[in-house]
Structure 1
Amino acid sequence: MMIKIQQGREEINSNGGIILTGALLRLNGWEKIDRMQGQRIKHGEIGHRDILKIAAALLALGRNDFADVDLYRNDPLFKEALNLRKIPSAETLRQRLNDLGLCNAEQTLTDDCLVEFLRKVNDFGKIQTRYAQYIPLDIDVSVMLQPNCKKEGVSWTYHNENGYAPIFCHIGTNGYMLANELRPGSQHSAKGAVEFVKRCLESARRIGLSMEKLLVRVDSGHDDSRFIGTLYDSGVNFIVKHNLRSENREQYLALAKRCGEKFPSRDGKDIYRCILSHCKPDGLEDKPLFLVVEVTRRQTDADGQPLLLPELEVSTWWTNLPESEAICIELYRAHATSEQFHSELKSDMGLERLPSGKFATNALILNLAALAYNCLRRIGQEALTRKEIWPVKIDVTRRRLRSVLQDLIYVGCKFTRHANVFIVKFGRHCPWFKCFREVYAKC
């Protein structure tokens, strides 16, 4: 059978999920940005809110290039979904984002919108232990490689390649992003970390979360007395990986043997754990903090082959949790899940390489990416709550953003108008129609 290819007159769209994103981006916080005045800020025919909404919507479609906006300039569904009067050219979008980036020196321009968005989230995902329930707040630096370019702020990172070293804060086990900040690649993790964590905790307060329920988890790059003191004074729970630097590992082994407990493991491998109350960060000696210690001594490898010299591995964490050492260690190791959240932002949303040569513009785009990321995350989580209408049975607690894009964003539809009503029609055999309709009702 021969197949003919023709172009019809119907409005057929391959990214029907933009109406979900458009519904989630209806935020009052845009109005404050729209009223913003500045020497280099010009409205033109398109307001600031529309410029930022368009950029966020493109990121939610997995498109991070300024030229990608030209693909949607004649798309009526894109315009109606975002309630736009006009869609700018790629050149105009670039210029306006450059200007708005100059007003985002502290990278807080979109914080009001993020807080407003997250207030509508019903479940961030909690961790339940024997004694308490926690909402994790994971803060971490993740490198965004930018090889073979001369973009402003790109420098040598700890991955031994050129790039940026942004810091991210994710809230809950479902992976919503609370804040982010673009940083030069050579900037140390601890530089500006206190100011960033204060900003994150203030956003959490504005969302309505109790400080006593938050559990802040950070790696050894933030092992700093000032940082830990800030967490303690804020009233949150925390686990901070301790940087041993030049401390004596053998001394920790002796302490763990004397004060702690030996945990079962394979032959030739001994694990000791303990909690020390006399060890405190400098300047915080009067605070009720603890040092959780885990010492692993290996005399044989995994295959049972004896080692010439025993291997000694020591891990320690500062905490104020009223939990056992095993629970504290388990809670910290769950912090590694945030690496997957970074991966979804960079690979699934195609944001590994930022589009502009200007640092301020890239910082603004990364802030907008947090909104786009949260839109996709919310769509995925809302879909999961309706497992009875899914086309296939699944047993997961969180959907990867790539799956959300493939199943619910890039879904084909037909766009029509009748009696001043815009109608989006899906195919007769579309497997995601019921799920899509239910999710849209919740957006």
Structure 2
Amino acid sequence: MKKFVIEPTKERIVAQAGLAIVGNLLNQTNLVSRLNAYKLPDISRYPACSNGDVAKSYIGLLCQVKSDYDNIETFRDDAFFALALDIQRVPSSPTLRQRLDQAALVEKWKTILHEESLDLIRHTNAEISPVYAKDKPYIPVDLDVSPFDNSKTKKEGVERTYKGCDGYAPMFAYMGQEGYCLHVEMRKGSVHCQKGTPNFIQETIQSARKLTDQPLLFRLDSGNDSRDNLIILLENHASFIIKRNPRKEKKTAHRQLANSARYCSP
């Protein structure tokens, strides 16, 4: 067995050193200045903890796979957390909860976060890797619902999902083989995956065009096998692969259609 050498040190050792990279990326955006310039309802024009500090604090939690507001209390006196993310004042759990509850009521915050996210991908010249079909490149755009398990909670919008748990059913759109998040839409747990999807696809295409001019290839599951989706994709000259939903159709009908096609052998 390999022997470990344990030595004492006066250096500060932290488990979340990767936050320094997160902070560097955030400082390449206009997120803080734009959020600070926007006054939320029922919040002082000059709050003790700025909107930018609140947003960066919660982003710091999410980057550590922590989503509960109470998790912020661990980092209120953590010098590295504030230094890495360039936070002037780390908010308390009640402040974090109140501010984000207020932000959820206005569309402006969502717009700012979405625009700055796209700008960050563009300004850092992030590579967006294509897939190939007959040597022709396509930028893949994957759309799907991702049910959350929020069982035993009383949060607004928590309902029974198709996965058999109580939670939310948000829709996500990812781009490139790297999986950059293009778009996201919060939905109640019981909402069918196709509800609102045509508009979601249209908004996703608009976001994708801000990052690339290469051909797009949308990939969706059978729950989104809908004429409404096809119309949007065709109108925007986007290629697509959508899993067929046979519904009440008979296999014999599909076989006859295939046999009658010019490119198929009888």
Whether TM-score is above 0.5 comes out as yes
Deviations 1:309-361 (A, max 9, x none): xxxxxxxxxxxxxxxxxxxxxxxxxxxxxxxxxxxxxxxxxxxxxxxxxxxxx
Partner of 2:23: 22
Contact 1:146 1:164 survives alignment (8 Å): yes
Contact 2:31 2:112 survives alignment (8 Å): no
Residue 175 of structure 1 aligns to which amino acid in structure 2? G
Answer yes or no: is 1:78 the counterpart of 2:81: yes
Contact 1:154 1:164 survives alignment (8 Å): yes
Structure ranking higher in strand proportion: 1
Partner of 1:232: 234
SS across alignment from 1:64: coil
TM-superposed deviation, 1:202: 1.4
TM-superposed deviation, 1:105: 8.2
Answer yes or no: is 1:58 the counterpart of 2:86: no
- Structure 2 unaligned segments of length 5 or more: list them: 1-7
Partner of 2:206: 202
CA distance in structure 2 between the partners assigned to 1:105 and 1:182 by the alignment: 16
- Structure 1 unaligned segments of length 5 or more: list them: 1-6, 262-273, 276-443
Answer yes or no: is 1:36 the counterpart of 2:47: no
CA distance in structure 2 between the partners assigned to 1:30 and 1:260 by the alignment: 59
SS across alignment from 1:242: coil
Deviations 1:52-71 (A, max 9, x none): 11101111012112121121
Name the CA shift for 1:131/1:14 in 2 (closer, same or farther; >3 Å): closer
CA distance in structure 2 between the partners assigned to 1:147 and 1:240 by the alignment: 31
Instruction: Pick the aligned partner of 2:243 from 241, 244, 251.
Output: 241
TM-superposed deviation, 1:228: 1.3
SS across alignment from 1:180: strand
Partner of 2:118: 115
Contact 2:41 2:102 survives alignment (8 Å): no
Moved more, 235-244 or 91-100: 235-244
CA distance in structure 1 between the partners assigned to 2:260 and 2:228 by the alignment: 31
Contact 2:35 2:109 survives alignment (8 Å): no
Moved more, 8-17 or 59-68: 8-17
CA distance in structure 1 between the partners assigned to 2:52 and 2:200 by the alignment: 25
Contact 2:159 2:168 survives alignment (8 Å): yes
Deviations 1:378-398 (A, max 9, x none): xxxxxxxxxxxxxxxxxxxxx
CA distance in structure 2 between the partners assigned to 1:250 and 1:72 by the alignment: 63
CA distance in structure 2 between the partners assigned to 1:107 and 1:224 by the alignment: 28
Name the CA shift for 1:114/1:73 in 2 (closer, same or farther; >3 Å): same
SS across alignment from 2:13: strand
CA distance in structure 2 between the partners assigned to 1:259 and 1:227 by the alignment: 24
Instruction: Pick the aligned partner of 1:138 from 115, 136, 142.
Output: 142
Contact 1:41 1:100 survives alignment (8 Å): no
CA distance in structure 2 between the partners assigned to 1:183 and 1:105 by the alignment: 19
Residue 129 of structure 1 aligns to which amino acid in structure 2? A
TM-superposed deviation, 1:253: 2.1
Contact 1:29 1:116 survives alignment (8 Å): no
TM-superposed deviation, 1:215: 0.6
Deviations 1:109-140 (A, max 9, x none): 41111111221243122112224101100000
CA distance in structure 1 between the partners assigned to 2:11 and 2:242 by the alignment: 57
Instruction: Pick the aligned partner of 1:187 from 186, 191, 194.
Output: 191
Name the CA shift for 1:38/1:14 in 2 (closer, same or farther; >3 Å): closer
Greater Rg over alpha carbons, structure: 1
CA distance in structure 2 between the partners assigned to 1:72 and 1:38 by the alignment: 25
Residue identity over aligned pairs, in percent, reads 31
Partner of 2:223: 221
TM-superposed deviation, 1:106: 9.1
TM-superposed deviation, 1:9: 6.8
Contact 2:34 2:112 survives alignment (8 Å): no
Contact 1:33 1:49 survives alignment (8 Å): yes
Contact 1:137 1:169 survives alignment (8 Å): yes
TM-score by length of structure 1 reads 0.54
Name the CA shift for 1:30/1:112 in 2 (closer, same or farther; >3 Å): farther
Residue 84 of structure 2 aligns to which amino acid in structure 1? A
TM-superposed deviation, 1:144: 0.7
SS across alignment from 1:31: helix
Higher relative CO (Cα under 8 Å, sequence separation at least 6) belongs to 1
CA distance in structure 2 between the partners assigned to 1:203 and 1:77 by the alignment: 34
